[in-house]
Amino acid sequence: MRPRLIPVLLVKNKGLVKTMNFEDPSYVGDPRNALKIFNEKEVDELCILDISDNRSNDGPDFELIEEMVSEGFMPIAYGGGIRGLDDIKKLFKIGIEKVVLNTIIFEKPSIIKEAADIFGAQSIVISIDVKEIKGWFSKPKYTVMTASGKKKVKGDLLEIINEKISLGVGELLLNSIDQDGLRLGMNNELNKYVTDNVRIPVIACGGVGSFEHIKETIKETNVSAIAAGSFFVYHGKHRAVLITYPNQEELNILQ
């Protein structure tokens, strides 16, 4: 069974954007139109992450999410501004199948167990954003970042991940901040390090620029899914906006 291939739609102030190293979001279009195209191309599933500056205070943009869900018939995961169980319940009610929790799991760790007990661990995804610590180390060292890559979280990467997993998590979305948006390949040293040491499925994200990058990650790591943004919305070295998704013949190569 091949790993799933998941487009990630980054949303900021109702627009579809792309970032590089979690910075400088560039507007690339209407997320509703993008979702409509992905639906026509029969994607495996899709992830929407809202990075609007005020999202953590205002909560999810339920109106926009509902409009997007109405355009898609694939499983959709959503993350961004989730403040508690009431937001999660409302997201499931309007058609979201999985919630992606990031900042809140550090501010209120108990939300994981509370949500998993009510909605089931399979519907709870934690998103861990990772940055490599530069230095003369014998092995790579990593730090966990939160608040869209703006705040450091103290502690060891694996200890942090496994602590959250113990509370009842179905999947881990592992984001490489260093590779984000560059389209130069994934950080497979990080991906392998994590997949070899956690007991839940891992979705690797950050750096996909070609089909070869996807095949490399599948070959070198135990990821259960690969997520990407730029790979699905940009075409060519000049980053022309062209929303696309591999056809069935291309996907079969990943088996």
pLDDT digit string, tens, across residues 129-183: 999 988 777 788 999 999 888 899 999 999 999 999 999 999 999 999 999 999 9
Q: Are 21 and 28 in contact (CB under 8 A)?
A: no
Res 20: pLDDT: 92
For residue 47, the SS3 value is strand
Half-sphere exposure at residue 55, Cβ-oriented, CA atoms within 13 angstroms: 25
Q: How many CB atoms lie within 10 A of CB 33?
A: 12
**Reported pTM:** 0.95
Find tokens 């730029």 and name the residue. Answer: 230
From residue 23, alpha-carbon distances to 148, 163, 181 in Å are 9, 28, 9
* Beta bridge mates, 224: none
Q: What is the mean pLDDT of residues 25-54?
A: 91
Find tokens 């919630």 and name the residue. Answer: 99
Catalytic residues: 129
- With bands split at pLDDT 50, 70 and 90, how would you rate the model's confidence at 238? low
Q: What is the mean pLDDT of residues 1-5?
A: 83
With both helix axes pointing from N to C terminus, report the angle between 85-93 and 62-71 in degrees, rounded to the nearest 10. 30
Res 55: pLDDT: 73
Choose among 202, 221, 79, 183: nearest CA to 130: 202
For residue 162, the SS3 value is helix
255 or 212, higher pLDDT: 212
Residue 2 has pLDDT above 80, yes or no: no
Taking the CA atoms of the chain, what radius of gyration do you get in angstroms? 17
Strands (DSSP E) found in the chain: 4-12, 15-20, 23-29, 46-50, 76-79, 98-101, 124-133, 141-146, 151-153, 171-176, 202-205, 225-228, 234-235, 240-241
Res 255: pLDDT: 64
- With bands split at pLDDT 50, 70 and 90, how would you rate the model's confidence at 236? low
